[in-house]
Amino acid sequence: MHQYGVRDVEKLLHLPRSTIRALIAAGFVSPARGPGKSWLFSFQDLIVLRTAQALATAKVPAKRITRSLKKLRRQLPETMPLSGLSIGAVGKHVVVKDGTGQRQVESGQYLLAFEGDPAAGSVSVIERTPSATAAPVDAEDWVEKGAALEQEDANAAIKAYEKAVSADPARLDVRINLGRLLHEARRFAQAERVYREALEACGSDPLLLYNLGVLLEDLDRNLEAMEAYQAALHGDPGLADCHYNLALLCEKLKKPKEAIRHLAQYRRLMGSHSG
């Protein structure tokens, strides 16, 4: 069975690493561990990731998503062309449609739209990719446009995410993606402003605080970075990457006991994931 690394998932699904990590933390998928503790995803994991993101964006309750996806995952074959699948939130039930009809996965609020026969591996997909010429009209359109542009035109993706935030200021995931792209583009002041505004608008989200910590550390504002990391861990003690970064930062700041403690916690968390 073919397995996919994180870079493969980022490329195939247009999902940023922060979103992939959040979906794993939420329990939607449990990828295997490869060399160096790297994540390895199965084909079913990829489908579940894309489905989870689509339903989460549609504001389906997390418990309902988890329940439905566990059943959906058992129905998926081990291999199938990824381009043959389309995920959408368009109805009141989670269902799979095949050549013989449609099967309800579990009662819920939304519909997953498939065309073809998944069991035979011949699924023709209605891809909901943004048109290059059509102007998006709401936040979700801008989010999709931004995600599609991330790899080929980061500046255009940034503009799309900015419009998405303007259309829906409550979209924390978009603010995080926007800040990440600005950071990667070395537009540090703008990235910090996006993260600070997100904290005010959406509250102290652990992933947001972690990303802010990474930015502040890159700016050599180490004490502020430490505070951001500590705040992130207060909200989510299981954020392994945060423990690791904080361990290195504590060592740099000559706080050896704290460095050892966070490194030990990082190793414990990574060991539990691999088991």
Q: Alpha carbon 58 to chain centroid distance?
A: 14
CA-nearest of 17, 26, 37, 35 to 70 is 26
Residue 208 vs residue 83, higher pLDDT: 208
Residue with tokens 């995952």: 73
DSSP state of 138: S
Strands 93-98 and 39-40: unpaired
Residue 109: per-residue pLDDT: 30
What pTM did the predictor assign?
0.53
Q: Set out the domains of the chain in order of their start, with CATH numbers.
A: 6-124 (1.10.1660.10), 146-274 (1.25.40.10)
**Cβ–Cβ under 8 Å, residues 10 and 53:** no
Higher-pLDDT residue of 164, 38: 164
Local structure of 208: helix, strand or coil: helix
- pLDDT given for residue 137 in this prediction: 54
Mean pLDDT confidence for 30-45: 80
Q: What is the pLDDT of residue 66?
A: 64
The confidence band for 243, taking pLDDT boundaries of 50, 70 and 90, is: very high
Q: Which two tokens stand for residue 75?
A: 């129905």
Cβ atoms 249, 217 nearer than 8 A:
yes
What three-state secondary structure class fits 91?
A: coil
C-alpha angle 30/36/40, rounded to 5°?
A: 30
Q: What are the helix (H) ranges across 94-205?
A: 139-149, 154-167, 172-184, 188-202
Higher pLDDT, 19 or 115: 19
